[in-house]
Structure 1
Amino acid sequence: MVGFQTTRLPEEFELAPDGSEVRPLLKLSGGSFAHCTLSSRCTSVAVNHETVDEIWFFISGRGEMWRRQGDREEVVKVGPGACLTLPRGTRFQFRNTGEEPLCSLIATMPPWPGSHEAMRVEGRWPSTL
C-alpha cells in the first residue's frame, strides 16, 4: 500500500527543457504533478514528449498554447480556468502575453521521467528563453 503524501509549493524551481520554471510537487506510480511558471512576455522553447501525456490547468496569467499533431494544428488562448491536454507525440509551445507570470498545474502520466523526455522541435514562435 502506498502511503499518504503532502507537500507545499517549493520556492526553488527546476529549469524545464522548454525554459519554464517547474516546481515538482507529488508523484505516484501512475503520474506526477507539478507547478509551472512562464515569466511575463516570455515564449517557451517548442518541445515534443515521446512517452508521457499531460493535462495542464492554468491558474494565473494570460497567454497562448500552440499544439500540433500531424496535420492538426491550433493555437488556443489560456488563462485562469483553462484546461488542455498534450497527448504523447504532440509538439507544443506556449507564451505569456501578459504582464504577470503565466502559471499552470500539470499532471503527467506516467510520472515525468526526466529532461531527456522533452525533444526540441520547430515551434510556432521564436523562443525568448
Structure 2
Amino acid sequence: MSAVLFETNRSSRMSDRVQFAGSVKQNADKQWRHTLKETQLPAVPDAKSPAGADIRFIMDGTTGNMIHSTVPPGQINRATVHSTVSEFWYVLEGNGQIWRKDGTEERVTSLVPGVSIDIPVGTAFQYRNIGSQPLKFICITMPPWPGDHEAAPQDGAWVPTV
C-alpha cells in the first residue's frame, strides 16, 4: 500500500471514530487545547504496516499515534528501520519474537502477553509470530507516524513470508 493511500485511509478512518477530533477550545487562561478524544477498536484492519502486519488506528495526536497490530500465525514480517520515529509496544495476545539491532546491541526478545519493548530511532527490527494464534500488540509511535516512507527496508534475522 502506498504512503498516500495509507495516510488518506488513516485520516478518513480516524475522523470517523475519534469523538471531537480536530475540535479546539480556548480555556479561561486564553490557552488553546484540543478536546478530549476517545476511540473504539475497529472491527476490520485499516491498513497494512510497512512490515506486513494488519493495523487498526486507535488514536492520533500532536505527540504520537497508537495502533493495534495483528500478525497471523506463521507470518514473518519484513525487517525495517525508522529514521525519525521511536516505538513502544505492549503485547496483548499470542507468541512471537522481535529481533532488534542498533549500533551497539543485537537481541531477540520473546513477544508474549504482558511484555513491553522499545524500538528507538535508527534501530533495525523484524518480528514474527511463532504461535498458533494471532500475535496482537499495541504500538505507540513518537512523534506521529509520517507515512510509509519512514520505514526503510533492512536485512533481518529471518526470511520474510510477506
- 2:39 corresponds to which residue? 7
Q: CA deviation at 1:71?
A: 3.8
Greater mean alpha carbon deviation, residues 69-78 or residues 96-105? 69-78
CA distance in 2, matches of 1:54, 1:111: 10
CA distance in 1, matches of 2:106, 2:96: 17
Residues 1:98 and 2:131 are matched in the alignment: yes
CA distance in 2, matches of 1:90, 1:24: 23
Q: CA deviation at 1:39?
A: 0.5
Among the aligned pairs, what percent are the same residue? 36
Q: CA deviation at 1:4?
A: 1.1
Residues 1:110 and 2:143 are matched in the alignment: yes
CA distance in 1, matches of 2:120, 2:135: 21
Which structure has greater helix proportion?
2
Q: Which TM-score applies when normalising by structure 1? A: 0.97
- 1:30 corresponds to which residue? 63
Letter of the structure 2 residue corresponding to residue 68 of structure 1: K
Instruction: Give CA-to-partner distance per residue, 1:15-54, whole Å, 9 cap, x none.
Output: 1110111111111111111100110011000000110010
Which structure has greater strand proportion?
1
How many residue pairs get aligned? The number is 129
Letter of the structure 2 residue corresponding to residue 32 of structure 1: N
Q: CA deviation at 1:70?
A: 1.7
Matches within 5 A, 1:1-129: 1-13=33-45, 14-129=47-162
Secondary structure, counterpart of 1:56 in structure 2: strand
Q: Which TM-score applies when normalising by structure 2? A: 0.78
CA distance in 2, matches of 1:7, 1:71: 39
Aligned-pair Cα RMSD in Å: 0.8
